[in-house]
Amino acid sequence: MRLLASLVLMLLSFFAQAQKVAGKIVFQPGQVLTVNMKSSTTNLVSAMGQELEMKTEVIADHQFKVTNTTDENHTLSHEINRVRFNSDGMGNTMSFDSQSEKDLNGQLGAPVKDLLSKKYNLVIDASGNTLMAMNEGASTGKAGAEAGMLAQFVSGLTELTQAPKQGEASFFKVLPATEVGVGDAWTNTIDRNGTKIEEAYSIAEINENIITLNYLSNSNSTTVQENMGMEVTITMKNKSEGKIKVDRKSGILKEKIITTTATGTVASGYGDFPINATTNSVITIN
């Protein structure tokens, strides 16, 4: 009996290892995909002998609609439906909801309206690479200096508001076009708004419904913002790791849970100060 059980376990292990999947994405005509992006960040800045802490939480709701689909390529339209965030730090609290008329008429209303106006159509190939992207909606030009303030809160969650460039991996690109199995690994490099990101993927598990991947990435970023009339430059070294789940039947990303740790420097007219940040982000698609 013990020998039989061992043989069964060996066979199950063999079949699990033998399973192969490829990154072919299957959409349905007229399908609407709701993307929810939620992020919680803790920033610690050491300045003048004190450690200042700021916590922020951001939620962004995006939508992709499939307007055409074939075996070779897919056409989708994108828009962002809602942005919410709140912050608490240095004795100040702030909250915003783009569905609140009062908030839209407030200080951050103009840059958020600009954000919501940005739409695009996207054509991707069967594995998710960008073939063509066409932007719709123009900036109102009324965001002004408040745009820099908004960037402090929603950085990282609004990447989908910008269409990817031709040849780049789209948001839906996860698996390679060639077949891979448990233990297989590959890398990818993307340029996001001038920041080069080195990504590493590996297959952790394949079952009947879900493909689970391990994810790692490294990047260096420099952003320039305006805060209360002063230019602030933030230079960061970022490392991210987490898990990604992909629907096996459709090849569509279902969930991405990532923790990012970052260290760097905040440079302003008051001097240079070290900063450490931890961000926990969850992306789900329904």
Mean pLDDT of the chain: 85
Q: Determine the Cα–Cα distance for residues 60 and 38; give it in Å rounded to an integer.
A: 7
Report pTM.
Answer: 0.85
Instruction: Find the radius of gyration of the CA atoms of the chain.
Output: 21
Residue range 247-251: mean pLDDT, rounded: 96
Q: Decide if pLDDT at 196 tops 70.
A: yes
pLDDT of residue 12: 45
- The sign one gets for the Cα dihedral 247, 249, 250, 251 is positive
Least confident of 11-25, 36-50, 202-216: 11-25
Closest among 211, 178, 249 to 25, alpha carbons compared: 249
AA identity, residue 139: S
Phi and psi angles of residue 155, each rounded to the nearest 5 degrees, phi first: -55, 130
Contacts of 68-71 with C-beta under 8 Å, sequence gap 24+, read 68/29, 69/27, 69/28, 69/29, 71/126
pLDDT of residue 143: 47
pLDDT tens by residue, 76-133: 999 999 999 998 987 788 899 999 999 999 988 888 888 888 899 999 999 999 999 9
Of 88-97, 153-162, 215-224, 248-257, where does the model show the most confidence?
248-257
Torsion of CA 45, 48, 51, 55, to 10 degrees: -40
Q: Percent of the chain, pLDDT > 90?
A: 55
Q: Which domains does the chain have, with CATH numbers?
A: 27-285 (2.30.230)
- 109-117 vs 146-154: helix crossing angle, rounded to 10: 70
pLDDT tens by residue, 33-86: 999 999 999 988 887 677 889 899 999 999 999 999 999 999 999 999 999 999
Residue range 220-231: mean pLDDT, rounded: 76
Q: Decide if pLDDT at 264 tops 60.
A: yes
At 140 the three-state DSSP class reads coil
Residue 37 near residue 157 (C-beta atoms within 8 A): yes
Residue range 195-210: mean pLDDT, rounded: 93
pLDDT of residue 279: 94
Q: Name the token pair of 64.
A: 């992709």
